[in-house]
Amino acid sequence: MRMPVFRRKKHWLAALTGVLLSSILLAACGENSPSILNVAGPVAESESSLFWLILYLALAIFILVEGVLIYSIFKYRERPGTPNPYQNHGNMLLELVWTVIPTVVLFVILFFTIRGLLQVAPEAEPAASASQPKIEVTAVGHQWYWEFYYPKYNVTTADTLEVPVGTTVHVKLFSNNVIHSFWVPSLTGKTDVVPGHDNTKWFVAQKTGLFTGICAEYCGTQHANMRFNVNVVDNSSFMTWISGQQQAAAAPTDALAQKGEALFKNQCASCHGIVGVNVTQFYNTAQECTDLPGGKANGTPQCLIGPNLTHFGSRSLIAGGVLDNNTKDNNCDPNNPNLMQSCNLAKWLKDPQAVKPGNDMAIGALSNAEIQQLIAYLEGLK
């Protein structure tokens, strides 16, 4: 017998719905996707443990309830001549049982939730000691990228937070525009970055590696493109990185890069700073630039609205993580005939609004030759 057409349509509709729902679920399983389940520190571990506890309790309750339901469907299904089932409405014992059990479960969850809150609270931050060193970082949320300032070392960078393994990282959170939220799923939970309100957080990375951070509070059209990396390295590598970051930008020797430096001074210096070129030193935006862009900082003409580019060539991300700084395989060699197609920095300089609509990059139209010059200069700033 041929199946009616409308039944086949329902069958295919159900199958298609299942495939679409599965694709949405699996879309979150990318290799580099940030996850609270891939923990690398005590703060994330505490939060992950609470997640697993609630999941296991919910799973146990689901299996129990569904098991009883399925058993009852088959055991007590209606048969010919079966009398009406016994009515237990108003049974005090049953009423107490299915009221007390959920209450106990919720109190268990409440207990572990409060314990988790205490474990990750600012008051639980480990005190600095020889066995537990500490560094302080100010994270500034811009629209739309993250800036990081290390007050002890007087170093500013963007898009990548470099930290040593096994060290307590005390993060001061600052925004002078809208509310952001600082979140590194593998290392620490979400904390809002609120204008006019000082928030702090802490975390410890227990293993080296590169971890993805995101803004977890809608902050504008490019909220989803406000990513950053946390690069966890050993202590000697961190100190080597700090030593390099503290240096002023090296003067270019290549003729093309020299033209790029002149172009930077002419067209980019009003928004970006390079130590040794148009600013004298790094400065703390959160303390000295609360009235961007009209404030003063360490003798600079103004507190610059764009990220500091002193060591841009050593960074792995561009424009808040919307692009990778893909310099390998000569992608950004100024002499590469496919420069405009293969180099992400070239794409950004060519049309930043097409790459990240609504950003504050107010650069004029650049010729291909000018883009080559800027790339030769910027990628040389290691």
Verify that 43 and 151 share a domain, yes or no. no
Query: Has residue 16 been placed in a domain?
Result: no
pLDDT, tens digit, 9 for 90 and up, residues 259-310: 999 999 998 888 899 998 988 888 888 777 654 444 444 544 457 888 999 9
Residues in CB range of 192: below 8 A, 6 or more apart: 173, 179, 180, 181, 199, 217
Position 130 scores a pLDDT of 79
Verify that 177 and 203 share a domain, yes or no. yes
Query: Has residue 249 been placed in a domain?
Result: no
Q: Which CATH number do you get for residue 306?
A: 1.10.760
Give the C-alpha separation, 204 to 198, whole Å.
21
Q: Is 318 left (phi over 0), alpha (psi -120 to 50) or beta?
A: beta
Query: Has residue 29 been placed in a domain?
Result: no
Position 300 scores a pLDDT of 46
Query: Has residue 104 been placed in a domain?
Result: yes
Verify that 212 and 297 share a domain, yes or no. no
pLDDT, tens digit, 9 for 90 and up, residues 54-66: 999 999 999 999 9
Of the pLDDT bands very low, low, confident and very high (cuts 50, 70, 90), residue 91 is confident
Verify that 269 and 373 share a domain, yes or no. yes
Query: Has residue 153 been placed in a domain?
Result: yes
pTM of the model: 0.83
Nearest to 304 by CA among 277, 286, 285: 285
Structural domain range at position 266: 255-378
Nearest to 144 by CA among 179, 173, 184: 179
Is the pLDDT score of 192 beyond 90? yes
Cis ω before 151 (30° cut-off from 0): no
Verify that 70 and 141 share a domain, yes or no. no
Verify that 265 and 363 share a domain, yes or no. yes
Position 26 scores a pLDDT of 55
Which residue has tokens 């001061």? 172
Count of domains in the chain?
3
Position 95 scores a pLDDT of 87
Using alpha carbons, list the distances in angstroms from residue 201 to 43, 173, 211, 254.
10, 8, 17, 44
| CA–CA–CA angle 373, 377, 382 (5° rounding) | 155
Give the C-alpha separation, 323 to 178, whole Å.
23
